[in-house]
Amino acid sequence: MTLATKKLTFKEYLKYDDGTDTVYELVDGELIPTSLGTGKHGGVAKFLERTFDDESNKMGRNWTAQRFAVGIRSPRGERWDTSRIPDVVVLPLEQWQSLANREAVIELNEPPPILVLEVVSESTQSTDYRSKRSEYAVLGIPEYWIVDPLQEIITVFEFSSL
């Protein structure tokens, strides 16, 4: 569903406010509202966030998992006016802290996150399995996990090593 007829630049997207609590991804300059998801979707995302935080601590890694909190600017074709908001992003704590006083979007000139996880819902199956997979690969994100509670499987894509 497209809300604006005029395509937005990435800069306009960062400043966009329609006066509601709706969260949008920017895809090819068009605002795409993100769905709230089911309780199961939110529960799976919360479990993943906590699990990755716990495991990072056990491994002595200075990483943090963030749920619904980090945008990733990504390509589509030759355009760079797309920003995804993954369900869970794992990134170095220092990188997360660098986002404290600005838009929480990882830009093209910044290191990619360590891991991106998407929890599939009926409305996001095609995007999670196809579009985001290719976008995240181009960005050099080392791993992309698709957690699919509908099929009860986890698919792991390794694009490069850490």
Measured CA to CA, the distance from residue 42 to residue 70 in angstroms comes to: 16
Which pLDDT belongs to residue 4? 46
Measured CA to CA, the distance from residue 118 to residue 87 in angstroms comes to: 5
Structure tokens at 158: 């390794």
The sign of the torsion formed by the CA atoms of 159, 118, 128, 2 equals negative
Name the helix (H) or strand (E) containing 83.
Answer: strand 79-84
Return the SS3 of 89.
Answer: strand
Global pTM value: 0.85
Which pLDDT belongs to residue 162? 46
Measured CA to CA, the distance from residue 134 to residue 69 in angstroms comes to: 21
Q: Which segments of 4-146 does DSSP mark as H helices, in order?
A: 10-15, 39-58, 93-98, 125-126, 132-138
- Amino acid 97 reads Q
Could you tell me how far CA 135 lies from the centroid of its own chain?
A: 11
Which pLDDT belongs to residue 67? 95
Q: Which CATH superfamily is domain 36-158 in?
A: tt1808, chain A (3.90.1570.10)
Which pLDDT belongs to residue 161? 52
Within the chain, which residues score under 70 in pLDDT? 1-5, 76-80, 160-162
> What are the CA-CA distances from residue 136 to residues 27, 39, 118 (Å)?
14, 26, 11
Measured CA to CA, the distance from residue 86 to residue 119 in angstroms comes to: 9
The sign of the torsion formed by the CA atoms of 17, 21, 26, 32 equals negative
Cα angle value 24/106/69 (rounded, 5°): 50
